């Protein structure tokens, strides 16, 4: 009788262990499986690398759909802060927008991941394209028969960085009034975000555009590389860049945010109220992985 009882108990313990192992295996498999949509708000200048990141991640995770929504970084931030739109990940062309507008109410961590610089881009054959260079660009762009495009400072970091660059150039080249002159020129060709300038330059509706180097590279434009003293691309020139500053629209009507010149650094954050937390975490890890960094670098950006 004792032997029979022992065999029954042994069988029960063995069954329980096997069942527990099966449950643990299933749980582990479910933990690694990610599904559903990942909503990503991103700077317009990240459109090319993020499309490539999306394609590769979806290939590796076929049950996931990444929904990309590009706009000026300030516009993206206001969709979160003012419109309460669902969003899993926000990637900004200026990490400070995340610090100033998103943290701590909407996210807890800000990760810097890439950098860029301001250039003057153009299509071959535009007016004075054979003459323009790093030493005379401000003279060429000031001409009445030349049209240039830029991004809107209240919507897009490329827009306010362009104005900051003008301020630095005014000091660097000792040209009083350069910023004011350029602010008042070609106002019909100010667009919401940097990527919107591409079509204007490709169609030659404008002769030149103040643009990110990565976008100029991605779309095959010629471009003038500006002095490090003004292009906001050299991390060792922080103190020099700080000489410039600009006020733009803040979180609420009537409120402004001041941005001082500093090296161009992109930031990314996973929002606290992310609708698809587990999948978004995986995509964040992928973006910041060596594979993700390689994709970003291939798009013409500098990886941090």
Q: Range(s) for CATH 3.40.190.10 in the chain?
A: 34-115+265-303, 118-246
> How many residues does the structure list for the chain?
304
**Beta strands of 47-98 (E only): which ranges?**
64-71, 89-92
- Residues 6+ positions from 286 with CB-CB distance below 8 Å: 53, 56, 57, 60, 292
Looking at CATH, the fold of the domain delimited by 118-246 is given as D-Maltodextrin-Binding Protein; domain 2 (3.40.190)
Q: Can you give the pLDDT at residue 252?
A: 73
What pLDDT is stored for residue 18 in this prediction?
46
CATH architecture of 34-115+265-303: 3-Layer(aba) Sandwich (3.40)
Low-confidence ranges of the chain (pLDDT < 70): 1-32
DSSP secondary structure code for residue 302 in this structure: E
What pLDDT is attached to residue 16? 43
Q: At what angle do helices 47-60 and 277-287 cross, to 10 degrees?
A: 120
pLDDT at position 184:
98
The helix/strand/coil state of 211 is strand
What's the pTM value of the predicted model, to 2 decimals?
0.85
The confidence score (pLDDT) of residue 7 equals: 40
Give pLDDT, residue 32: 67
Q: What is the pLDDT of residue 94?
A: 96
Q: Rounded to 10 degrees, what is the CA torsion of 70, 71, 75, 79?
A: -30
């Amino acid at each position: 009788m004792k032997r029979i009882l022992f065999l029954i108990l042994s069988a029960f313990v063995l069954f329980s262990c096997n069942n527990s192992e099966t449950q643990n295996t299933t749980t582990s498999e479910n933990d690694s499986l990610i599904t559903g949509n990942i909503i990503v708000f991103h700077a317009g200048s990240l459109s090319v690398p993020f499309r490539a990141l999306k394609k590769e991640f979806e290939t590796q995770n076929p049950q996931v759909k990444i929904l990309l929504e590009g706009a000026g970084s300030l516009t993206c931030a206001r969709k979160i802060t003012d419109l309460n739109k669902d969003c899993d990940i926000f990637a900004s062309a200026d990490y400070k927008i995340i610090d100033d507008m998103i943290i701590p109410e909407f996210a807890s961590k800000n990760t810097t991941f890439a950098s860029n610089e301001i250039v003057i881009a153009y299509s071959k054959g535009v007016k004075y394209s054979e003459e323009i260079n790093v030493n005379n660009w401000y003279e060429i762009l000031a001409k009445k028969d030349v049209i240039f495009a830029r991004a809107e400072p209240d919507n897009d970091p490329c827009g306010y960085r362009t104005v900051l660059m003008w301020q630095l150039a005014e000091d660097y080249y000792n040209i009083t009034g350069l910023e004011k002159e350029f602010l008042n020129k070609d106002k019909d060709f100010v667009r919401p975000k940097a990527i919107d300038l591409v079509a204007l330059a490709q169609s030659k509706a404008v002769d030149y555009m103040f643009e990110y180097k990565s976008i100029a590279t991605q779309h095959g434009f010629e471009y003038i590389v500006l002095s490090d003293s003004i292009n906001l691309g050299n991390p060792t020139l922080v103190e020099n860049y700080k000489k410039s500053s600009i006020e733009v629209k803040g979180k609420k009507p009537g409120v402004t945010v001041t941005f001082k010149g500093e090296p161009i650094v992109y930031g990314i954050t996973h929002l606290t109220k992310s609708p698809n937390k587990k999948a978004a975490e995986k995509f964040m890890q992928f973006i910041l992985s060596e594979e993700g960094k390689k994709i970003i670098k291939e798009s013409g950006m500098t990886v941090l």
